[in-house]
Chain A
């Protein structure tokens, strides 16, 4: 497999905000046909990593390539190959979903006929019909998230970068997105980077996970590989996460310190 076949490669990535280093020499890759879960506590560096991948923050070190394209050298082609759902629903609130998706389709230079069919199919699947011509400012968080998901899928990109994509979605939509992602990578070429701190979702959906703690990768691999690493054959991902991030004892101590409710 060449670099041009690999959906995402992150090498020695470092992100800093002033003196504070949010990500420290992080390396991982998303392989073709893979859903890679990036797990971590709040502030572990997941969103900073994702923002560096999609070009929102400039890393202080390292290299990011998408299908062999360096995002520091060829950012426009990298963005064209990527679909992104941000952690928070940040959209042009004065536009309606239709107007927003028209804008996204235009800058992505999509064919109007195909786009219309795709938008109709996604809007129907997400049950967005009634809200499709309302301004986004009037929509609920869950509905905004659906709009962002449609925008990410709209050009059928070979790489999807999803930062907490299930935030605010109703159970039906959560199931829908999970099914969509599984089918999406079934062709064996596309890849999905999926950030979450919901262990159950990662356990069921992701082929491999990377556990991030204070900007450093503490462990990476399939669930079985991680279980063997912590020497617990039936451990859940949550237990593995707490073990690798040394948080297990901390949680118990924190609960004890709270005393009786």
Chain B
């Protein structure tokens, strides 16, 4: 048996994985009505739709980078200081490759829990298939999870840059795109395995919960690639502009030249502007070529490691339980909605995909708060930044609201046999979204208070937006629960249910954004008028959405 057989097996396993991802049979979701082949076809189509959405984002990034390098003379003035075209191209391609890597890694993070819990690989193992074929089938199955997004990076990035700057530039970016995909596949698997062992398998208890959340913060750092890149862009351009002048082997410019993905981004920049575009000099050229060769070797090694490891990771044992006495802790019964909130927090603390959703607006606020604190703006500027950060937190928290519905799919069937109303479940999850927003606002307030501005004004802004955050979350979760009850179609994670999630998340963000828009339009002249308008719109939204989401007959 060879690659052909492995490809056939991986196709079968992928069909099963698609079914599990969309219908969550292993989580006890009953079989929806309809013939089996139609269900399988629908599952495949929905997984394809989700991959297409992720791919569209990656294609958009590639197109954006192509536009920027094409408009380099115009864009180079954005940061106020002139940037040479070669430096600008290197910076933009560096950003693009970093974002490609981060986004693919994040996608892998979303998929891996479903991949590991689907049990498709352990099913293949007892069959009379030789180990090599099984390993190949597992590797191909893993690659299929990323196929369309990875293909977008591998083909879309060279194509976009090729159209913008010529075919040679397109070809020159291929090694960078290949390395980004290879590293993303390996990092997804490596971190996925680590978190299944250390986070998912962590025992209960207060101290361990803190450690789990600390691990999860580390896990989420790649998601801040966009923010980090935008923040660091001026410094990056400045450093790149001086790499020719840096002569020491450990100088900042020289180190930057060998840091991933800069050397791979230098290749298309050199193809576009010629060898003198960056002013590298012989030593710089040697460093870039050496680093490119090194990353090429590392990428090949990463792919080989992925190919050999997926089969083992596919059924990685979490931990074996340990003997010991029953801890003398009371069972704490809570109100139903609060119990749902606590349960979701506990599940998220062992599930990176959900932890991401909870931590993103909070870490985002932390990053903006640190920036505000570090850049020493005037009190007025600090207030503007703080309100912007709070607005961002509101939008981010509501955009990811649908993920909290997906948590219910973990034990969908069992949960539905408990005497808990949809209203309690929705309220618990809305409470979590609102809590995320308030936590983010609190962090921003903490940092900006150090810059002395009117905290009362800040608090009024936060409270004026609060009903809109609640209304947006109520809308999103209300629609998803209604859909689940009527159509029996859960979304298991943001990746497999991206289409459904987007359908409710976009209107949700609009609901959260309308009061902010009202503030923007009416608050330009008079701050208090803007705040009043904002509060009025937010309260009106909650008054309309609340009864619709919570007022239906309980089932």
Contact = CB atoms under 8 A, between A and B. Distances in A.
Interface string B21-38: 000001110110111000
B481 to A, nearest CB: 14
Given A94-B347, A107-B420, A132 B327 contact: yes
Given A86-B28, A133-B203, A110 B417 contact: no
B487 interface: no
Interface string A106-117: 111111110110
Choose among B117, B338, B555 the residue with the greatest number of A CB atoms under 10 Å from its CB: B555
A259 interface: no
Main secondary structure of the interface of B (DSSP, over half): loop
A232 interface: no
A94 B346 CA distance: 8
Nearest to A16: B33
Contacts of A110: 333
A39 interface: no
Contacts of A113: 330
Contacts of A112: 330-333
Contacts of B330: 112-113, 116
A134 interface: yes
A134 B343 contact: no
B324 A98 contact: no
Contacts of B418: 79, 104, 107-108
Contacts of B117: 93
B417 A55 contact: yes
A77 B346 CA distance: 28
Given A18-B33, A90-B413, A135 B203 contact: yes
Contact of B333 (A95, A111, A123, A130): A111
Interface string A128-158: 1111111101110001000000000000000
Q: How large, as a class, is the contact surface on chain B? A: 35 or more
Nearest to B411: A92
Interface string A81-125: 010101010111111101101111111111111011001100110
A80 interface: yes
Interface string B333-371: 111101110110011011100000000000000000000
Contacts of B320: 138
Contact of B424 (A54, A101, A107): A107
Contacts of A94: 200, 346-347, 349-351, 410
Nearest to B336: A107
A82 B418 CA distance: 9
Interface residues of A, number: 58
A55 B416 contact: yes
Given A57-B30, A105-B333, A108-B419, A138 B318 contact: yes
Contact of B205 (A76, A86, A133, A139): A133
B417 A135 contact: no
A102 to B, nearest CB: 5
Choose among B201, B330, B417 the residue with the greatest number of A CB atoms under 10 Å from its CB: B417
A56 interface: yes
B203 A96 contact: yes
A69 to B, nearest CB: 12
Nearest 7 Cβ contacts at the A-B interface: A106-B339, A90-B28, A129-B326, A79-B419, A130-B323, A80-B419, A96-B204
9 contacts: A18-B35, A86-B417, A91-B414, A92-B410, A105-B331, A106-B335, A107-B424, A133-B204, A138-B201
Interface of A: 16-19, 51, 54-57, 75-77, 79-80, 82, 84, 86, 88, 90-96, 98-99, 101-113, 115-116, 119-120, 123-124, 128-135, 137-139, 143
